[in-house]
Each structure stands twice: as C-alpha cells, then as structure tokens.
Structure 1
Amino acid sequence: MKAFIQQYKGLGDYRLHDAFAGMWPHWLQHWTLVPIVSEPGHLDRRGFDPVLGLFADLPLRQLLAKAATDKPQAQKTRAERLQTPQSFAVVQPVSGIKQILLLDDLYTTGRTLYHAKDALVAAGFQGKVQSFSLIR
C-alpha cells in the first residue's frame, strides 16, 4: 500500500484511482459520504484530488473545503501533525443530515479527521460522525 500511495499521490498516477472501485461495502449507502478533500495548492500541483478519485464511484457530498496549510501532512513529524491548526470549513448546509461517514485515503494520527468533524459540529451538525480510511 505504501508503494500504491507513492505512485498514486506522490507521482500523480491518476490511472490508479479506480483500483478499489466497486469494492465498497453495501452499508455505506446508509451514510452521507463526505470526502476529506485536498487543499487548493495540492490539487493544483497534483492535478486531481486523491480522495475524490479513490471514492469516485460512490455518491459523495462535498460538505468540506480545506484551506492552505504550511506544508503537507506527509512532510510533518507526528508531533507537527498533532499541532496542525484547523483548516476545514463547511461549505454546504448540514441540516437534515443524520449521519456522516468521512472518507479519507490514509489515516496516520487522525488529526485531519478530527478537524473535519470539529468543523461539521461547529457548523451545527448534531448527528453521528464516523470515518473510513482506505489505509491505516
């Protein structure tokens, strides 16, 4: 999986985006599926959003936007990752949504997912939030 992520994200090999297409469990359909999106600078450099690519065959709701950060998570130490400030904003109403499943490609410290959840709660979301990461 390390080699897969290096090829897909590090080298920008978008052809790998559908490697897991059709393999998602059926219970996902009961959730509002919210991808953890890339910040604009990463999107510009890479030319695609890795999480949107990996989960492209699912009905995604892009409720979050990510602001620029000082450097990518992959270039930070564990301590630096844990100190990363909030960078998510909710860009669509969350009223009426009962449960959200945050989708991400890689879980390391969980800081990104906790920030995403905190942003949703700050925007008024009162339901259940869980996460699914392809790699941990």
Structure 2
Amino acid sequence: MNVYEIFKCYRINPEEIVAEITERETVKDINAVYVFARELTELGVRFTIDDFGSGFSSFIYLRYFGCYFAKIGGSLVRDINRSGRSRMIVENMAKLLQRLSIEVVAEFIENREIAEILHRSGIRYGQGYYLGMPSICPGYKD
C-alpha cells in the first residue's frame, strides 16, 4: 500500500499533515528522501525541518526540500536573552528563512524575555513551556 492509498483508506487529508525532517537523524540516501518528500508534497503534505541550525545538514535540506516551516533548535534559542552571539545567530537564521518564504518556529521558549526577543525578530510561531505545557491530543488512547 502506498502513501496515497493509506491517506485514502484512513480518510486523512494530506493538507492537514506536516511532516518533520529531523536534522539529528542520519540520512543515508538524501535522493530517496527527496523523491519521497516530493511525492508527499504533491499530495499536499507540508514539511518542516526540525532542529534547524543544530548541525550542518540544515542548509542542504533548504536546498533539497520545499519546506513550509523550519524549527530553530532549542539549543540556539534557550539563551538568546543572555548571549548576544546566540541572539545574532537566531535573528539572522530567521531573516534567511523568512526571505526564503519559510515560516519560522522557535523551540524552547521558556520565558517572556525570550518570547519578546523572538517576536521582535519577526518569529510568529513557537514551542516551549512559557507558551504551554505539552499535552496529549484529545481523544488519544494508549
């Protein structure tokens, strides 16, 4: 059964799916991933790069994949209120992504000060305890 058949069988609207490409995972055959991602994109699935900036492959992913989102890794975000260097890196990554028409999501937003810095940088989306505790989706059963 291919992905299209799975979506059809389970009545999944592919336009409601956002698939993550995690930079920490080793991609042995980027061309195979590219072909698979292109097929999903044609069905309407959107992609995000998770942990953007935490390794060297982020920029390769920008080149190969038509990503809708990029999530800036928490290791870069968590100390932007204490480190001018971290702040500069995050702000410039956000500018690059925005110029590529990629929505930016900042991970690890732990306090108001970090949220305000990110907001001033034009970052509209975020994840972290300051914004809300992780929770189980309604209706989910083990």
Higher relative contact order (CA 8 A, sep 6+): 1
Q: Which of the pair has more CA radius of gyration?
A: 2
Output the TM-score relative to the length of structure 2: 0.31
Which structure has more helix as a fraction of its residues?
2
